[in-house]
Amino acid sequence: MMIRTLYLLTLLTPCTALAQSCVIDDGIWLQPRTGMVIRNSNIAPCVAEVFTGDKMKIIYTDTDETSIQANELRQWLLALGLPATRITLDKTTTTAPIRLETYHE
């Protein structure tokens, strides 16, 4: 598991000290669920931040479809080795695409 995590870290773009915000486009749901998702340029900066110790919110609109997608995305990221204690779900009333936000605590 540790070797896989280190390998995945080498695939990620360099991270910055600032928190990131990453928008999930609809195309991500059309791709097979594989470990290569973390190389997706839309989410790689946020995933890198979580691997380095930040926390992540998955922010989604309060509808059935986006609720399912947000939960699926969280489970997917957990299966790839991201710590469960660092990823939370956050409903919003705005109608915007699902986005990931990292933050320091």
> pLDDT tens for residues 41-73?
778 888 888 888 889 999 999 899 999 999 999
Assess contact for 77 and 87: CB atoms under 8 A.
Answer: yes
Return the structure tokens found at 10: 């080498």
Give Cβ neighbours of residue 91 (< 8 Å, ≥ 6 apart). Answer: 59, 60, 61, 62, 67
CATH for 2-103, among 2.20.25, 2.30.30, 1.10.260, 3.30.1330?
3.30.1330
Q: How many CB atoms lie within 10 A of CB 66?
A: 21
pLDDT class for 16, splitting at 50, 70, 90?
very low
Domain ranges of the chain: 2-103
pLDDT at 9 over 80: no
Q: What percent of the chain has pLDDT over 90?
A: 30
Assess contact for 31 and 63: CB atoms under 8 A.
Answer: no
Q: What is the pTM of this model?
A: 0.74
Query: Which has the closest alpha carbon to 86: 44, 47, 43?
Result: 47
